[in-house]
Amino acid sequence: MESRSQFLAGDLALDFLNTRPRVRGEIIDLLQTDNDVLVWMEKAGLPRSKKRFNGVSLSLLRVARLLRENIRSLVEKRKAGLRGDPSLLNRILGHAKSYPQLVWKTTSVPTVERIRQADPPEGLLAPIAEAAAALLAIADFHLVKRCEDPACALWFYDQTRSHRRRWCSVLLCGNRHKVAAFRKRRHGQEA
Ligand SMILES: [Zn+2]
């Protein structure tokens, strides 16, 4: 898995969309196996499946990709002010099961934690669907943006105070843009 486009969106659902980035002009898919999905979820801090996966079934991968493209369509529609079809998202949300437990680890204050019943693949992916539903329903979509580099187009949630974030990453596209602008300027001076 290539890591440079991971977890820079500031939002779990958008980070999930960004697992299909464009690299040197070509769309690549960072999710190629069930295990890629599990590793991504673990890095994202989502609950791990207690069940062992049959690595060759690829059912998790298949549902994860379907969910991702449904979220992509919903985010694009919402951004465009249009109505999307959330039926696939809702099907996966229908598998979301969790219950609270009081966890008392030390002698001090106990905490309430939610335990997820993550039957794969839908139940396991439900937290991603929940993040997407929350984003679509609650987020200010003026701040849900695409990287301004047309060759990149990763999504992010602009949480800067000025709300002027333009790039998926200053280190990646921001710098590239700066270098290009500098070259153009210098070229202009020489001409
Ligand atoms: Zn970018």
pLDDT in tens, 140-150: 999 999 999 98
pLDDT of residue 19: 96
**Type of residue numbered 68:** R
Confirm whether 4 is domain-assigned. Answer: no
Confirm whether 43 is domain-assigned. Answer: yes
Are 133 and 88 in contact by the 8 Å Cβ rule? The answer is no
pLDDT of residue 73: 98
Domain hosting residue 158, numbered range: 12-190
Confirm whether 146 is domain-assigned. Answer: yes
Q: How far is the CA of 190 from the centre of ligand 1 (A)?
A: 29
Which candidate, 81, 64, 84, places its Cα nearest to that of 20? Answer: 64
Q: How far is the CA of 137 from the centre of ligand 1 (A)?
A: 25
Q: How far is the CA of 109 from the centre of ligand 1 (A)?
A: 44
Tell whether the torsion through CA atoms of 151, 152, 153 and 157 is positive or negative: negative
The chain-wide mean pLDDT, for the chain, equals 87
The C-alpha atoms of residue 123 and residue 186 are separated, in whole angstroms, by 55
Confirm whether 1 is domain-assigned. Answer: no
Confirm whether 97 is domain-assigned. Answer: yes
For residue 26, what is the DSSP state? Answer: E
Q: How far is the CA of 4 from the centre of ligand 1 (A)?
A: 10
Beta bridge partners of 155: 146
Q: How far is the CA of 153 from the centre of ligand 1 (A)?
A: 6
Are 99 and 79 in contact by the 8 Å Cβ rule? The answer is no
pLDDT above 90: percentage of residues in the chain: 55
Cα–Cα distances in angstroms (integers) from residue 78 to residues 133, 159, 182, in the given order = 11, 19, 35
CATH code, 147: 1.10.3300.10
**For range 7-26, the mean pLDDT:** 93
Task: State the residue for tokens 């105070």.
Answer: 161
Q: How far is the CA of 27 from the centre of ligand 1 (A)?
A: 13
**For range 3-23, the mean pLDDT:** 88
Q: How far is the CA of 175 from the centre of ligand 1 (A)?
A: 10
Beta bridge partners of 144: 157
**For range 155-173, the mean pLDDT:** 92
Q: How far is the CA of 173 from the centre of ligand 1 (A)?
A: 5
pLDDT in tens, 58-109: 689 999 999 999 999 999 999 999 999 999 999 999 988 888 999 998 878 9
Ramachandran region, residue 24 (left: φ > 0; alpha: ψ -120 to 50; beta: rest)? left
Pairing of strands 22-23, 144-146: unpaired
Confirm whether 2 is domain-assigned. Answer: no
Under the banding of pLDDT at 50, 70 and 90, the label for residue 30 is very high
Please report which residue ranges of 83-121 form alpha helices under DSSP H: 87-93
pLDDT of residue 1: 41
pLDDT of residue 135: 98
Q: How far is the CA of 110 from the centre of ligand 1 (A)?
A: 43
Domain count, the chain: 1
Which candidate, 60, 67, 84, 66, places its Cα nearest to that of 128? Answer: 67
Confirm whether 5 is domain-assigned. Answer: no
